[in-house]
Structure 1
């Protein structure tokens, strides 16, 4: 579908509701999903006096809510003339703290020179080519500024995200009168992360939000990121340097056959339990805590064996991940966080991971024999 045809969809959508005089209720909080509940305004951080961009603002109701509730100064930008008219019909064009702007978002970003402290989009981010939107958006968010947006993850037909950065047709519901079809970028969390990092953002969190009802397959992603701050040389002081590395632990849980316990993440990836090291914790203590919190298995620190350290870098942040093996544990594994990990098991991936673990152990033993220390 062409860009012109996609824009016409939103003009038709707005015209449908203008003709019927329909308006959604005034929100009490931000809604990043298509149902009640889940994260709200808090993910946007402190908005008092902040300059904020609402991408694809529609009727403007969330921009008005945030301006009234927190004193934010918001540019509510929408490219559909009928959606823009709905906002003007609902609110005064002189609504305190909100400027309603009829413009294509890419054109607005090209002309706007003053940076934003926060940019957000509720459901509208996936309707714009990220290869165009993210490079245009990054220079318009101040270094350290926040970007928050929600996008579709799994649609109403149960179709999950694409593994390539290409649009696909998705439906836009017209009340009880059928559907319009437009292009949408429905991407895996890993692809969104790659695109954001490439554009100069540092990922803070990617959360998959499933519908609360079993008969609804729709899931959304909520993504929070920060614009990478400019790094200058550190002034010479007597204070210690600021930490530049995130430290975490990956827990390899094995059974008597050295099969590895894995969890199926909502993104479709099998992974080991683990998480970041909290202040004051040892690596062994972190492994025991994360194991209990994510699988309900209990273990003792004496039974945790740290066998490797993985170093990598994501979005300008160095990451050090200690690989810890826990072979002695008690209890039955349970997916304690089903909204993130749907189930635990061994399966073929666990057997393959067990083979890889034995190879790592063998390699470490050979290195120890050769080491002169």
Structure 2
């Protein structure tokens, strides 16, 4: 189960080792909080070890399926029958083996000192709660991280894990069992998943869009930037803005040309880097627009010009690298000797 291999569990029990015995506090809580139904009930003991809890539940009126994936533990468990009632010991890895052989409905599903060793806890709990009968309960008896040495935290649950375990139930009680957490979960209440971020991230990348606009003669629009390059209309995304929305907005802010988002499409996503920072650029083709280009941001652009596409490989000035990559998406192979870029074409 999860953190420890099957061979190590077999060795653990084969060497005569076990775990903390069931004590009077646990017995009292089991009797008071999850008694067997008057007509008897079914219980599932997950990670039963040598069978102490399973035998107690059988004597208390349950018919018990006791699971463990350590053959040595089950061999020891089967040597001591319950004082009364029925226990069926089953070799089963609760995370990996099919559960077809289990009863379809349980009144009690118990994890005693075993839950912390399960790796895929959420998935296992979801599958088992589907077998919980009406009025049934899941009981998890576990050490808590704050009460064990740091080098043994793997056998315990911390507060965050206990809160996660308790989520999605109408009733989640926690009791103290002589230093152990005794959790009783009733009435599953799975809700829709919710979403949240992880706080404000540190700056990691530049993202933006380059807009390719051609006029009725097939000429492409480039601006002469004050930093000495030719470049397409475009720029960085605003928060919450799509690449198409960014391209259309920047086109209007920089040139005065207006276009609808419906008249623009992303043709590829391009990724390179600048000064060690990742840069992501969307190649956006604008197929319809209104107006005539004008300098709207004179601090950035000196003028806008319509260029013959065939002239681009011999421009007597430098092309802004992201603009060159975008142009090469629309007219593949047009520009020679481009700097490296990762290109992800879109249908």
TM-score band, normalised by shorter chain: 0.3 to 0.5
Larger C-alpha radius of gyration, 1 or 2?
A: 2
With structure 1 as the length reference, what TM-score do the two structures score? 0.43
